[in-house]
Amino acid sequence: MLLVVASLIGLAGCIVAPPSTPSDTTPSSTVPAEPSEHVDPSWRFPATPSVPQEPLPSIVDVVREARPAVVSVMTEMVAYDLFSQAYTQEAAGSGIIIDSDGYIVTNNHVVQHAKDIQIELYDGTKYQATIVGTDPITDLAVIRADATGLPYASLGISDNLAVGEWVVAIGNALGEGISATEGIVSRLDVSVTVGGNTLRDLIQTTAAVNPGNSGGPLVSMSGEVIGINSVKVASIGVEGMSYAIAIDGARPIVQSLINQGYVTRPWLGVSLYTVDRFTARINQLAVDEGALVVEVSRQSPASQAGLQTGDVIVEFKGRQIRTTNDLLQGIIDSEVGEVVEIVFMRKQDRMTTTAQLRESPPPWD
């Protein structure tokens, strides 16, 4: 290879070009026949106004303001191995104290199925906690620590956020204690589907969020909580895509959980399963999209409307239903007492009924 390269270099050095008359090498196509009417020999770059450069925000001050209200949430739950043997599984997350009497907001997936919950303050003090209420639809939960006189967070207004604003995510990242990461707001009012459930009204941010950060606060530069860290998109080639539940949407959910232990919504009274080609073939369904009714609650709006197990709901209020999430969102977007039209398939027959939605009963009923 070295010899070949040397030969090429030698040959290149021996090339002799015949003498030629110098000529204009400017391509003729680039020379305008006449000057453009927009040519201005006197033009210069406009002067840039002298604006004082504002200093970057002090992350130290933000963390100092918000950190005392951030807690580590340690849980224990019963899990089962491949041989159905029970064992205790430990997990870690984060939470935000919102009241001096110990009310703490976190994610539903942080405390779901927990048989024991313990929280740890920034100074290392630990307390037992119990679940006040959970809401899987929004992935929010409220727990209460067995303590009083706790420092609590100041809640901001997420509707005032703008893309590009600095934010700080604080939480128990990787279960190694409270830490902080900074970033900016990337997008607002984002929807992300996780485990078949679509979370809405999310704030996308570049602040790094890792396992254990879930339930911790996303904080503005004024030290106010404007979001609750919940979801991260993690895959090869994807960076800087973390999501927080906007605090404006979380407020009424948290209020309901503390006031009554659950969230009141319109209720149809069915258990559902998303239809796909496999489900349609196994159950000999006439359609391969829709929401399959697997259970109808007694005395529910669905029961009174005549829906039965095995029906496939394909339209709700004039909107096509492809998945259970489509139907659930349609119900959530409705009003208690509203009469809705439902189109469904019963074997090979396409049928229509109406149901009057009622207020959802407590989950323990």
Active-site position among 135, 139, 311, 326: 139
Considering 72, 94, 109, 334, which one is annotated as catalytic?
Answer: 109
User: Which helix or strand (DSSP H or E) is residue 112 part of?
Assistant: none
User: In this structure, are residues 166 and 222 in contact, taking their beta carbons and an 8 Å threshold?
Assistant: no
On whether the CB atoms of residues 275 and 294 are closer than 8 A, the answer is no
Q: Is there a catalytic annotation at residue 36?
A: no
Query: Catalytic site residue 109?
Result: yes
What is the helix, strand, coil percentage profile of the chain, to 5? Answer: 20, 40, 45
- Whose tokens are 């003729």? That residue is 28
- Told to judge if 113 belongs to the known catalytic residues of this protein, a careful annotator would answer no
Set 214, 220, 230, 300: catalytic member = 214
Element (H, E) at 257: helix 247-260
Distance between CA 258 and CA 134 in Å, rounded? 10
The residues that bridge with 204 in the sheet, in sequence order, are 187, 243
By CB atoms closer than 10 A (0-12, 13-18, 19+), residue 209 is buried
Interatomic CA distance for residues 361 and 301, integer angstroms: 12
Q: What residues are labeled active site?
A: 109, 139, 214
